[in-house]
Amino acid sequence: MTTLRTESLDAGAAASAGPRVGVLALQGDFREHAHVLTKLGASVSLVRRPAELDAIEGLVIPGGESTVMDKLSRAYGLAEPLKAAITAGLPVYGTCAGLIMLADSVLDAIAGQQSLGGLDVVVRRNAFGSQNQSFETDLDVPALGDAPVHAVFIRGPVVESVGPSATALATISDGRVVAVEQGNLLGTSFHPEINGEYRFHKYFLAKVRAAATTA
């Protein structure tokens, strides 16, 4: 088993010279994302404070609980700087709760819940049922090549509608959208970070590299 050394990540002391990618570490499975990104050569740091956004070229918002991430991001003064960074073009990849945070509109939100926005989509929280209705399935994702993507759904959201600025990347067998992109933003209803499916992270790192070279 590989042990992730979050202490060194906290200190921003990643050894690699790859793209500098932050993982929002307020709540949720940020360690799993940090592990995947580190394996792919990114220079990973955990983000909990606004100033930590200055040092990164891309950000991952993990799975977890969007209601909690929303509350903590506002309590820590991160929500507004995050919105500004997204508007300024920071590449951001959100999985599950992270996709909810990136959606312009959220259905079945709790009272007062806010998202950061950026993705021109409407998502519905918990669209596939409760934790014990979690499931795995293979998805065609043409943007990632011919081999199917094995996708793990855990209380995930569905993308109920995709606005004109966003593009669907994958649908499940009943035709509902579960992966989207829009410029530098990427979102999936499922969790590639937990099952060794690295292609979404690679796809995201390509966005980060491209944005860094044009900045």
Ligand X SMILES: NC(=O)CC[C@H](N)C(=O)O
Whole-angstrom Cα distance, residue 104 to residue 93? 15
**Shortest gap between Cβ of 54 and ligand X (angstroms)?**
27
Active-site residue, selected from the candidate residues 32, 33, 57, 96: 96
**Shortest gap between Cβ of 46 and ligand X (angstroms)?**
18
Active-site residue, selected from the candidate residues 35, 191, 197, 201: 191
Measured from the CB atom, the residue of 109 and 141 that comes closer to ligand X is 109
The pairs formed by 199-203 with CB atoms below 8 angstroms and a separation of 24 or more are 199/141, 199/144, 199/145, 199/149, 200/93, 200/144, 200/149, 201/33, 201/36, 201/37, 201/40, 201/93, 202/40, 203/143, 203/144
Active-site residue, 191 included: yes
**Shortest gap between Cβ of 30 and ligand X (angstroms)?**
11
CA 68, 69, 70, 75: dihedral to nearest 10 degrees? Answer: 90
Measured from the CB atom, the residue of 156 and 192 that comes closer to ligand X is 156
Which residues contact ligand X by CB under 6 A?
63-66, 96-97, 100, 125-126, 154-156
Residues annotated as binding site for L-glutamine? 64-66, 125, 154-155
Measured from the CB atom, the residue of 71 and 125 that comes closer to ligand X is 125
Active-site residue, 201 included: no
Active-site residue, 193 included: yes
Catalytic residues: 96, 191, 193
